[in-house]
Structure 1
Amino acid sequence: MRTKLLLLTGLLISISHWASSQDIVLLTKEAENFERQLKEPEALAKYKQILLQEPANIKYLVRATELEIAIGNREKDANNKRLYFESALSYAERALKADSNSADAHYAMASASGKMTDLDIENKKIVAYVKAVKDHADKALVVQPNHARANYTLGKWHYEMVTLSGIKKAAVKLFYGGLPNGDLDKAILYMEKCRALEPYFVTNQLDLAKAYKENRQPAKAIEILERLVKMPNRSFNDIALKAEGAKLLASLQ
């Protein structure tokens, strides 16, 4: 009797695991379909459902981080923007806790930390997040040198350290004891590597063009922007980014 009970329990557990895995496959397909339709909030909701079943799944924690950032970027209300960016940071922290040697997790932390610097927070926190961006992007590239988006994130850090203005620049100068060693040539190097690895990543293309413009290489910026405006939309924000690129292109011609 005991043996039969154990066998039945084992069978029920197996069926439960099988059903759970089937649910995750279905949810993943639904999330990916929503992303292809540029329906990011709906895709994020599906990834959140997956994470209820697999709370330490780095792939979906990182994707949730990216989508929280993407949606937060276009929020006009400051409080709503803060909620999205804080949620992104929370998912990134969970990914890093799940695997501290994951390049994806460090990239997610760098990306989310960068967005936190855009919020109205105290100067010490701004500087801490500025440091976190570089630290985590560096760590991601130690683990995986060809991580496209970590290369972009580090390139963007260098670009921003050269072009910082206003309150953020004052805060960084004060608490760093001067501006960190941002370098436009390094910004371009990292973003060019990202472009080679992920050529349809519109965000990188636009920032790379800006870096070339800042570096007094308008011909290079124009070349990139001419390609950028013809790219397919792979995220909802690509529409606005390409429109911004078109305006920048017009100003350079």
Structure 2
Amino acid sequence: MLGVGLLCLAAAPAAEAQFLVPTRKPAPTLSKRPETPALADPPAIQQQLLQAASLTTSFKESEALAVYQEILKTAPTHYLSLCQAAVLSVKIGARYSDETRKTAYFNAARSYADRALLLRPEGGESNYAVALALFNQATLYKAGARLAAFRDLRSNVYLATEHRPDLAETWQLLGRWQYRVAHYNLLERLYSKLVLGGVPEGGSSRQAIESLEQAHKIAPGNLQVCYDLARMCRYQGRRRRAIEVLRAAEKIPPITSEELVVSRLCRQMLPPLLRADARRQKRQNSVPSVPRGSTLDTLRTPTPSVSQKE
């Protein structure tokens, strides 16, 4: 799943960069401040934000979500808590195999995200939360509703990268969306054109890889980003780049159970790519080199004439 955490719009400095997934290194300095500065939170809320940040850093997402929900009971329009609750709900819901529980968490995420979007329609964090909730809800929908969800989240995912270009999560989600739309099958394209007003603009394998490259540049230690990027490069025939990314992923130690699964997937993907690359190298080495200035005609063995045979 995509990463969790959202920029703290409150005055508490320790909670200011909470949008990124808890990583092995401190979160990078934010390159862009929120468009609308918020008033300082009361001390009690600041303390709760610090508590939630600590729980998130310790990968205790359910406990962190409970803290944000407590904040929302006393401050229903707290922007950070709404965005955080949305993203955490998606992350937790994605762990369940039971569709009923998944649906409950994804619906709750959408509710939190919509409330945040009402507060800040142009906010990078709120648009990311809405796009993330929609993208995951779509996995549970039937074909028509799923395609409508992919259409609806387009503006949100682009606004997320526009207003928060410093966050790997926004670029990763954009890349996933671009790749999915680029690979609509014939029926999906027909349905989109006839019922939904057309296939969403922006779907492109090349642009999807570019978006994931940007996510990887921002968060090279994110195993999920490495896996997504390597997989797309493999599908597009960019074997060397996929191998490069996967070899870098081998050096990233997994911490959570989810990271362990992704790490194994990366390791499973690498050997077939290495074998294919070795075969390609062998074929290239077996082809005789042609001297400069030579042509194929001059290199061919001349066929003896009739007089020569006699």
Give the paired residue count.
230
Structure showing greater Rg: 2
* Structure 2 CA distance for partners of 1:30 and 1:216, relative to 1, 3 Å: same
1:128 corresponds in structure 2 to 148
2:82 corresponds in structure 1 to 61
Match of 2:98 among 77, 82, 91: 77
2:136 counterpart of 1:115: yes
- TM-score, structure 1 length as denominator? 0.80
CA contact (8 A) 2:65 2:85 kept: yes
- Per-residue deviation, residues 126-166 of structure 1 (Å, max 9, x unmatched): 2221012221112223334444322221111111123456x
2:191 corresponds in structure 1 to 174
- Per-residue deviation, residues 72-113 of structure 1 (Å, max 9, x unmatched): 111010111111111111111011011112111111111111
Q: Any unmatched runs of 5+ in structure 1?
A: 1-19
Query: Whole-Å Cα distance in 2 between the matches of residues 199 and 139 of structure 1?
Result: 23
* Structure 2 CA distance for partners of 1:111 and 1:26, relative to 1, 3 Å: same
- Which of the two has greater helix per residue? 1
97-106 vs 228-237, which deviates more? 228-237
1:157 corresponds in structure 2 to 177
2:157 counterpart of 1:140: no
Q: Displacement of 1:28 after TM fit?
A: 2.2
Structural RMSD (CA): 2.4
Name the % identity.
Answer: 26
- Per-residue deviation, residues 26-79 of structure 1 (Å, max 9, x unmatched): 322322222222221112111211222232222222221221111111101011
- TM-score, structure 2 length as denominator? 0.67
* Structure 2 CA distance for partners of 1:47 and 1:76, relative to 1, 3 Å: same
The structure whose RCO (Cα within 8 Å, separation 6+) is larger is 1
Query: Whole-Å Cα distance in 2 between the matches of residues 152 and 106 of structure 1?
Result: 14
CA contact (8 A) 2:168 2:219 kept: yes
Match of 2:230 among 203, 206, 209: 209
1:223 corresponds in structure 2 to 244
